[in-house]
Structures are given as structure tokens and as C-alpha cells.
Amino acid sequence: MPTYEYRCLGCGHELDAFQSMKDEALTLCPACGAERLQRQISRGTGMIFKGSGFYETDYRRKKGAAECPVESTESKPAGCAGGCACHEGK
């Protein structure tokens, strides 16, 4: 569930509310009691990757694929013995 930011247009009170996306927006200010609470556009949160993450499971080279000693992805350059993941079959 997302956290929404609200600001009262009457007194300026700001608050965060942990709500379902299906819930109606809050309107009653807990500070002044006015029904002038307005949902704000939030900057959101940054993404934090912890643990082994997507790199380990989705983007890592397959086991057994050799690293290419040459930095080129075109046809097999001199110095590349072939069989590496980047020049396989070239």
C-alpha cells in the first residue's frame, strides 16, 4: 500500500497516510477539523536494491561462458579465442 501526502488548505498542516489505492482521499484535517485536506503530488521514493537482486538472477552471464579479453562486440577480433559470450558464433 502506498503512503500519500496530504496538506490542509486551511491551516497548512501536513501529514502522511498509509492507504490502499482503492480508498477515498482524506478530507478532514486532524489539526483544525476543516474539510480542506488535499492530497499532494509526491516526489515518491527512490528504489533501493538489496541482496543478490535482479542482476544475479536475470543479467549475469550464463555459467561456463568465458569473458572476452578484448573490448569489442563486432566480429571476432584478434586476441579473442572465441567461445566467449560476446563473440560466440562470430
Residue 8: pLDDT over 80: yes
In terms of residue numbers, what domain contains 31?
3-39
Is 54 inside any structural domain?
Answer: no
In a domain, 16, yes or no: yes
Per the CB < 8 A criterion, the answer to whether 51 and 17 are in contact is no
The answer on pLDDT for 4 being more than 80 is: yes
In a domain, 11, yes or no: yes
Rounded Cα gap, residues 53 and 55, in angstroms: 6
The model's pLDDT over 51-87, given as tens digits with 9 standing for 90+, comes to: 665 665 565 555 555 555 555 555 655 556 555 656 5
- Global confidence as pTM: 0.48
The answer to the question of residue 29 being in a domain is yes
State pLDDT tens for residues 9-54: 999 999 999 999 899 999 999 999 999 999 998 766 666 666 665 6
- Residue 7 inside a domain? The answer is yes
If one counts the domains in the chain, the total is: 1
